[in-house]
Chain A
C-alpha cells in the first residue's frame, strides 16, 4: 500500500527565506505527483504536477523536483512571503486511469513578516 510522508509537519520562517518542503512515498511506481496548497478552512489549490518521466516543474517562485527511484519529491519556495503561509500537501497517483490520489498529511508553513 502506497504511503506518503511529509516532513516537517510544521515550519515557521521569517519573510524572505528560501525553504524546502519534503515528500517521500513508499512505492516508487507512481504515475505522477502533485503539490497542493490549502489555506485554513478552504479547499485545495493545485500548484504543480510532475509526471513520472519528469524531474522537475517550475511555477514562479515554486520549483518541485521528483526523484522517483528514491521515492522523494521536494518543493522549493524562493523568497518566501507571508502570503505563502498555508498547508502544503503532496499527493501521488499510482497509475493512469486509476483516479485515487494518495495524500500526505501536509506541512503547515508560517511565514512571518
Chain B
C-alpha cells in the first residue's frame, strides 16, 4: 500500500538557520503530495502541495519539489523563525478521484532564538 516516510525528529535549529525535512513516498500511481503543519494545540493546516512531477509547492517561505525519480518531497526553508516551531507532516493522495490522504509520522521542529 501507499506510505510516507519522514525523518525522525525533533529537529532543533537556531533562528535564521536553514531547514530541511526529508520525506519519501511509496505509491502505485501518480500521487499528489502535500505538507501539512500542526501548531501546538491546533489541528493540521495545509502548508503547500504539488500535484505532478517537478512541480514546486511554496508558501510562507517554505518550498518542496516533487521528485518522481527519487520519490521524494523534501521540505526546505532558507531562514527559520521561532514561530515556525511546529510538527510538519508529509502526506500523499493517490490520483483515484477520492482524495484520501496518507500521512507520515510527522517531524517536530523546534526553533530557538
| A and B together in one complex | no
A contact set with B: CB distance below 8 Å: none
Query: Which residues of B pack against A, CB within 8 Å?
Result: none
